[in-house]
Amino acid sequence: MFFIISKLLVFVISPLVWIVFLLLFSLLSNYPDRKKRSLLWALVLTLFFSNPFLFDECSRLWEIPSTRSEEVKIYDAAIVLGGMSVYDEDLDRVQFFRGVDRLIQTVELYKQGKIKKIIFTGGSGSLLHPEMKEGNYIKRYLLYMGIPEADFFIESESKNTHENALFTKELLEKKNIRGNFLLITSAFHMRRSLGCFNKAGIEVLPYSTDRYSGPRKYEFDHLFIPEPSIIYSWNTLIHEMIGFIAYKIVGYS
């Protein structure tokens, strides 16, 4: 039930949904004052949620800072969280999204000798296709990258961050994997992830990837020119903030 509710929540909290609702309310309202206020709020929300500078600053406050790879010591294993790909049935191949930076950085650290083993955790995040488990496709990708099967472990049953931590704990105990662990996920997702893994009793150090917040800029276009794609990025950030709070309330982290 929690999994289904979280999927519905993604839609409800979308700034674009709020904006469209206000525009429709203004269009259908028979009261001039309400029509005007709705249009005004739709304009304000559009300008706010499409402003690159405001999003960048809010992301910087939320995200866990990244670490330079040269500052990383040697770890027995890296735990990398899924949510970066989908299987394309027509082409019979994995289609990666922005979050693939998690995997790319993991492979790079492995090649540098910074991590000895890779533990990938991620099943299906789809309500309609629970059989499409991400871990199975990532396994194939890691083999293509030349990483020996003896050097990575796949957990492909988890559907969310809470289960990522619980099922990884089970995997570590089953395989008798011990040592120091690096947790690799997107910077915006790191707060919730750390909470879940600490709750599960797995001591990890964060290695944030896929940052939304870049170097602070005071350029004219960054400060004042709206960027429509930023509205979608807000979905991710707001969803993560609410998810963090919800996990705290239900005791997942």
Q: Sketch out the chain's domains with CATH numbers.
A: 2-63+227-250 (no CATH), 69-209 (3.40.50.620)
Question: What's residue 129's pLDDT?
Answer: 65
Question: What's residue 89's pLDDT?
Answer: 79
- What's the DSSP call for residue 210? S
Question: What's residue 192's pLDDT?
Answer: 97
Question: What's residue 126's pLDDT?
Answer: 63
Beta-strand (E) ranges in 40-151? 75-81, 85-88, 93-96, 115-121
- Where residue 83 falls (left for φ over 0; alpha for ψ -120 to 50; beta otherwise) is left
Going residue by residue through the chain, which has 253 residues, state the pLDDT in tens, using 9 for 90 and above. Answer: 555 666 666 677 889 999 999 999 999 998 899 999 999 999 999 999 999 999 999 999 999 999 888 889 999 999 999 999 888 878 888 889 989 999 999 999 999 999 999 999 998 866 666 677 899 889 988 999 999 999 999 999 999 999 999 999 999 999 999 999 999 999 999 999 999 999 999 999 999 999 999 889 999 999 999 999 999 999 999 989 999 998 999 999 9
Alpha-carbon distance 53 to 155, whole Å?
Answer: 38
Angle between helices 101-111 and 134-144 (to 10 degrees): 40
For the entire predicted model, the pTM comes to 0.90
Distances (CA, A) of 232 to 14, 60, 76, 127, 145: 8, 17, 37, 21, 32
**HSE-up (13 A, CA, CB side) for residue 152:** 28
Question: What's residue 41's pLDDT?
Answer: 96
Angle between helices 229-250 and 2-12 (to 10 degrees): 150
Question: What's residue 5's pLDDT?
Answer: 64
Question: What's residue 114's pLDDT?
Answer: 96
**Structure tokens that stand for 62 in this block:** 């939320």
